[in-house]
Chains A and B, each alone.
Chain A
Amino acid sequence: MLETLGVRSMNDLLVDIPQSLRLESLQLPNGLSEFETMAQVSVLAARNHVYPDRLTFRGGGVYRRFIPAAVSAVTSKPEFYTAYTPYQAEASQGTLQAIFEFQTLIAELTALDVSNASLYDGATAVAEAAMMAYVHTGRNEVLVSGYVHPEYVQVLRAFGEGRGIKVRRGAEANKKTAAIIFQQPDFLGLLVDAGQLTKAAHDAGALAIACVDPISLAILAPPGEYGADIAVGEGQQLGMSPSFGGPHVGFIACTRELVRKLPGRLVGTAHDAQGRRGFILALAAREQHIRREKATSNICTNHSLCALAAAVYLTYMGPYGLRHIADVSFRRAHSLAERLARLPGWEPAFPDRQFLNEFPIRVPRARSVVRKLARKGILGGLEVNHWFRELKDVLTFTCTEVNDPQALDELMAVLES
């Protein structure tokens, strides 16, 4: 190749680089064979303790769920996972159609008009929704009502600071409020009065943003049914492993009026000259590469492969499979809550509140409880005190369909000893 170029060496091609910047080499060890690479990486993996999913009772935004084999069978197809962003639509119909299906699934689950092609995670989804409300209403304050995931609120604040949006706690909206943001079920697992919060927002001319658990939507009233304007959430439970926090997937759906303000990608249908239906990236004129500094957001990607996992999961489950999963989780969690409350000194933190499959319980010396369980290979409840001062010695426990009844017995046996 150098001959074709008519140059003698690589240095002739690198002429533009000042000599003073040229490196001898990188300060990194030399490369390894595949065998040695996997050996080293495996050593790191082995230095982590993996709790079996059946003995995991900790949630806080990431949950152990049954993941059908079909999910990874599809997401590990190289045609999906090594494909690029579908800019050349004709060569990307697989990805585009899968995302179109994802958008429809999310819109159906949330009972709202349109969903986008996915976002990075639940936290940034909340931030994006707040920015939509800011752009739409022209007001620069958002209210966070109740126990919204503290990390989501932290991310909301970080985005808010860049954009000049103030984040306040409470539910007293006024004419400076762009939106009320609430979580259903909330961070502790408790159910909130979503209808009332939505009404409070609308009465003040603000938007209602509901941060929802996607599996709960098989049973609970979805945002569209109680009139919320934007629904966001974390889709990890729809077929993604915990993976130490990521990559997972955020989703965002909204009413028709707000669609032009949706950040990120949108897939829509289109037709070719023969009238064949295909799919394209739509309404690109909203996005950062065209609006540049006038875009709602700067997000230009989606978590496409994770959205694909979610689509496969939801399609595998169907409406009745999903409802069954949600109900099994509900019943196991309620059974566990009852049994735990019988332990001496253990009592529900909010006895008058309902929950789905995650609940807060006050215990004697939370730290030692968690340690005791860990020593027996059980990932017990989540300590929430460091986020919420008023919740001293409160742990949140989660149950899903992976915590079989024997696992509940094993948990109780350790705590009773």
Chain B
Amino acid sequence: MSEPLSFELSRPAVDPPRLPEAEVAGPPAADVLGREMLRARPPGLPRLSEPEIMRHYSRLASLNYSISENFYPLGSCTMKYNPVVNETAAALPGFADLHPYQDEDSVQGALELMWRLERALCAVVGVERVTLQPAAGAHGEWTALRMIAAFHHSREENRTEVLVPDSAHGTNPASAALSGFHVIEVRSGDDGRISLADLESKLSPRTAALMLTNPNTLGLFEREILDIAELVHATGAMLYYDGANLNAFMGICRPGDMGFDAVHMNLHKTFTTPHGGGGPGAGPVGVKSELVPFLPAPTVERTNGHLTLDYKRPQSIGRVRSFYGNFGMLVRAYTYILAMGGDGLGQASQDAVLSANYLRKLVEGDLDMPHEGPCMHEFVASAQNLHDKGVRALDIAKALLDRDFYAPTVYFPLVVPEAIMVEPTETESKATLDAFAGAIKEIVGKAKTDPQSLHDEPTKLPVGRLDEVAAARRINAYLQGLSEDPVLRWKAPAEALETASQKTLQESPC
């Protein structure tokens, strides 16, 4: 079952939709603007009627797995349920129809929501202020590093290095490099946690910051975090928190209390704004008092119940995006926090930790567990035990797809071979967890008796395993001018192009 592209469904006979006429005096653009200003060839947009459009997209929708239908145990992604009331809130005209350049007096409700969200996030993570501007996790991470760079610069300290654990997500070093830092890796010890000895050997007066996820990407709480904070601060460096795993301990403990100076959060993970197939999300960053002057401008201020946007921030790192942030996502996150409350958020983290440990226990006989438990909200298993059967983490992932489960994260973190990172979240019932564990058992059983069959899965989805290598080679051939098939877009067959442009010159559109 597959669906043609809209371009392939396009028919020249389809009329454009009925749209308002200008109904004012005056010539059309084509008569006023010079020839050289005008488009020579019309854009090759497809032509479909509305019923065809709706059918096309409905069929595409049916080709997707989504959290509304399937269990998504993706480690580090916190695929918890997206409450539909959040959508209703964000769609309220009082939010959706606000122009960002309206007078402040006319958007007091929106500013109040941002201010309250900021206060709530401060309470959850233990910081003084939060910027809501960054549009995504990586964006927020870069913003935090820019603030840290500005801080050191303001003290005329030349700190050029950022320390990152070897288990870190690749965004960490990329964001650091983008901020002008040189990245140095710190090794993990055998227990999966950061090696204090290695950390100590790499800290120096050149260190701007240590970036840490806690619990780390193995789902393990950094037990020595208070010592780590002390070590880092003693050298004058700052401690940055990557909020990917915040769902592990809301209401249990706070990064701010651990000594983190900049605390990054993902509203699309911990605070359940929907992933949308890749975005939009939001990546707010919380800061302690030393970093407050460097926050992106404008900030939202509240005096005597009146809200204003503060642009007078001379030490600010500037703007990291247009306007104020992904406001629509801020509304969703705020609605979630309001509905959950402090008690609900605390319960969510506890349930997340419980579910992960329970699931880990169920599958520990089937897969390798490289590190000792207990884990927090996620755990990392390894398919290394199936290596001699020729079965890899990728095969397990694809086999799960055939059993109606979305696959966990595989091949991350890099420090574990054949890694399978599982995060069930608090959303899932015991029944779902039992079913998932059952599927793992069945797949591992198959790996031992009939490994070849796993290499062919998935077989029940619209397509089987797609040949990424062949695709990459075709793209590279195009990029080197050895082929005209772009692969990264649809292109009309050459003859069709000619006929279309001829037709357009003859046709006289509205």
B159 within 8 A of A: no
- B449 on the interface (CB 8 Å rule)? no
Which segment, of B202-210, B235-243, B385-393, B468-476, faces chain A?
B468-476
Closest to B18 in A: A321
Q: B102 near A49 (CB under 8 angstroms)?
A: yes
Shortest beta-carbon distance from B36 to chain A in Å: 7
CA of A223 to CA of B463, assembled, Å: 36
Is the C-beta of B370 less than 8 angstroms from some C-beta in chain A? no
- B134: nearest chain-A partner, CB-CB: A120
Structural contact, B171 and A5, CB atoms closer than 8 A: no
In the bound complex, residues from chain A placing their C-beta under 8 Å from that of B99 are: 51, 56, 58, 62, 64, 242, 244, 379
Q: Are A152 and B322 interface neighbours, CB within 8 A? A: yes
Q: Which of B56, B94, B96, B343 has the most CB of A within 10 A?
A: B94
Q: Using an 8 Å CB-CB cutoff, how does the interface string of A298-326 with B read, 1 for contact, 0 for none?
A: 11111111101001101111111111111
Known interface pairs A48-B98, A298-B141, A328-B20; A18-B223 also in contact (CB < 8 Å): yes
Residues from chain A with Cβ under 8 Å of B376 in the complex:
16
**Is A415's CB within 8 Å of the partner chain B?**
no
Distance of B118 from chain A, by nearest CB (Å) = 13
Digitize A1-37: 1 where CB-to-B-CB distance is under 8 Å, 0 elsewhere.
1101101001011111110111101111111101001
From the candidates A23, A242, A298, A354, name the one contacting B98 in the complex (CB within 8 A): A242
Bound form: Cα–Cα A149–B321 in Å: 12
Chain A: CB-nearest residue to B57: A74
B319 to A92, Cβ gap below 8 A? no
Contact (Cβ within 8 A) A297 B178:
yes
Over the window 1-41 of chain B, the binary record of Cβ atoms lying under 8 Å from chain A Cβ atoms (1 yes, 0 no) is 01101110000001011011111111111101100111111
Cβ-neighbour of A354 out of B32, B61, B89 (below 8 A): B32
Distance of A317 Cα from B39 Cα, bound (Å): 17
A309 to chain B, nearest CB (A): 10
Query: B26 contacts A312, CB within 8 Å?
Result: no
- Bound-complex Cα distance A311 to B99 (A): 23
Question: In the complex, how many angstroms separate the beta carbon of B39 from the nearest chain A beta carbon?
Answer: 5
- Quick check: B374 and A15 within 8 Å, CB to CB? yes
Beyond A13-B353, A95-B64, A301-B136, whether A220 also contacts B2 by CB under 8 A is no
- Cα of A256 to Cα of B476 in the assembled complex, Å: 11
User: Which one of B21, B38, B68, B335 lies within 8 Å of A41 (CB-CB)?
Assistant: B335
Cα-based distance from A262 to B193 in the complex (angstroms): 35
* Complex CA–CA separation, A123 to B251 (angstroms): 36
Q: Is the CB of B42 within 8 A of A319?
A: yes
A185 to chain B, nearest CB (A): 10
Question: Is the pair A151, B322 in contact by a Cβ cutoff of 8 Å?
Answer: yes
Q: Is the CB of A93 within 8 A of B173?
A: no
**Contacting residues, chain A, for B107 (C-beta < 8 A):** 48-49, 244
Whether, in the assembled complex, B461 has its beta carbon less than 8 Å from a beta carbon of chain A, the answer is: yes
Name the interface residues of A39-85: CB closer than 8 Å to any CB of B.
40-51, 53, 56, 58, 60-62, 64, 66, 68, 70, 73-74, 76-85
How long is the Cα–Cα vector from A368 to B246 in the complex, in angstroms?
Answer: 49
Bound Cα distance A151, B133 (Å): 13
* A48 and B109 form a contact (CB under 8 A): yes
- Quick one: which of B123, B180, B466 contacts A164, CB cutoff 8 A? B180
Binds B, one of A169-177, A197-205, A281-289: A281-289
Q: Known: A73-B54, A164-B180, A299-B138. Is A293-B174 also a contact (CB below 8 A)?
A: yes
A244 to B338, CA, bound (A): 21
Given known contacts A5-B361, A45-B94, A330 and B29 CB-to-CB distance under 8 angstroms: yes
Which of B28, B97, B254, B374: most chain A Cβ within 10 A? B97
**A218: CB under 8 A from chain B?**
yes
A93's nearest neighbour on chain B, judged by CB, is: B63
Could you say which residues of chain B place their CB within 8 Å of the CB of A247? 135, 279-280, 326-329
Q: Give every chain B residue within 8 A of A120 (Cβ-Cβ).
A: 135-136, 139, 279-280, 321, 326
A16 to B216, CA, bound (A): 12
A271 partner, pick from B40, B146, B296, B467, beta carbons under 8 A: B467
Instruction: List the B side residues contacting A294 at CB < 8 Å.
Output: 177
- CB < 8 Å neighbour of B79 from A70, A84, A379: A84
The answer, among A7, A149, A295, A317, for a CB contact under 8 Å with B174, is A295
Q: Is the CB of A272 within 8 A of B5?
A: no
Residues of B within 8 A of A405 (CB): 23-24
| Contacting residues, chain B, for A79 (C-beta < 8 A) | 61-62, 64, 66, 68-69
The interface residues of chain B lying within 8 Å CB-to-CB of A300 are 136-138, 170-171
Given the contacts A10-B354, A242-B98, A245-B100, A78 and B488 also touching, CB distance less than 8 Å: no
Q: Do residues A82 and B3 form an inter-chain contact, with CB atoms below 8 A?
A: no
Inter-chain contact A319/B47, CB cutoff 8 Å: yes
CB contacts (< 8 Å) of A298 on chain B: these are 138, 141-142, 171, 174-175, 177-178
Q: Is A38 an interface residue (CB 8 A)?
A: yes
Q: Which of A169-193 contact B (CB under 8 A)?
A: 191
Task: Tell me, yes or no, whether B355 is within 8 Å of chain A by CB.
Answer: yes
Q: How distant is the Cα of A16 from the Cα of B504 in the complex, in angstroms?
A: 70
Contact A45 B109 (CB under 8 A): yes
A123 touches B319 (CB 8 A): yes
Question: Quick one: which of B17, B225, B478 contacts A68, CB cutoff 8 A?
Answer: B17
Q: How far is the CB of B280 from chain A (nearest CB, A)?
A: 4
Q: What residues of B have a CB within 8 angstroms of the CB of A84 in the complex?
A: 66-67, 72, 74, 77, 79, 275, 277-278, 406
- Do B174 and A46 have beta carbons less than 8 Å apart? no
Chain B residue with the shortest CB-CB distance to A257: B479
CB distance from A70 to the nearest CB of B (A): 6
Report the separation of the CA atoms of residues A312 and B346 in the bound assembly, to the nearest whole angstrom.
40
Q: How far is it, in angstroms, between the C-alpha of A191 and the C-alpha of B36 when the chains are bound?
A: 12
Given A16-B221, A79-B66, A324-B509, are A121 and B176 also a contact pair (CB < 8 Å)?
no
- For the complex, what is the distance from the CA of A146 to the CA of B325, rounded to whole Å? 26
Choice from A4, A315, A335 contacting B48 with Cβ under 8 Å: A315
- Residue in B43, B281, B472, B509 whose CB lies within 8 Å of A222: B43
**Docked-complex contact A267 and B488, CB < 8 angstroms:** yes
Which B residues are in CB contact (< 8 Å) with A158? 146, 296, 317-320
Within 8 Å by CB of B88, from A38, A74, A259, lies A38
Are B319 and A154 in contact, with the CB atoms below 8 A?
A: yes
The 8 A CB mask of B262-280 against A (1 = contact, 0 = none) is 0000000000001111111
- Nearest A residue (CB) for B141: A298
Please, how many angstroms separate the alpha-carbon atoms of A92 and B69 in the complex?
A: 13
Interface residues of B in 106-123 (CB under 8 A from A): 106-110, 112-113, 120, 123
Question: B367: which A residues are within 8 A, CB to CB?
Answer: none
Judge whether B197 is part of the interface by a CB distance below 8 angstroms.
no
User: CA separation between A89 and B38, bound complex, in Å?
Assistant: 40
Residues on B with beta carbons closer than 8 Å to the beta carbon of A288:
138, 170-171, 174-175
Chain A residues whose C-beta falls within 8 Å of the C-beta of B510 in the assembled complex: 320, 323-324, 327
Q: Determine if A283 and B374 form an interchain contact, defined as CB atoms under 8 angstroms apart.
A: no
A287 to B401, CA, bound (A): 25
Per the bound structure, the CA–CA distance linking A319 and B93 in Å amounts to 30
Which residues of A have CB within 8 Å of B109?
43-48
Q: What would 10 A/B residue contacts be, using CB atoms closer than 8 Å?
A: A10-B350, A10-B353, A14-B374, A28-B124, A45-B93, A48-B95, A84-B79, A92-B277, A290-B170, A320-B16
- Of all A-B residue pairs in the complex, the 8 with the closest CB atoms, nearest first, are A245-B323, A45-B94, A31-B341, A305-B276, A47-B109, A28-B342, A289-B170, A26-B342
Known: A88-B407, A273-B467. 16 other contacts (CB 8 A): A48-B94, A83-B67, A94-B64, A104-B490, A113-B486, A113-B489, A151-B322, A245-B100, A256-B486, A292-B174, A298-B142, A300-B136, A301-B281, A315-B6, A319-B47, A327-B29
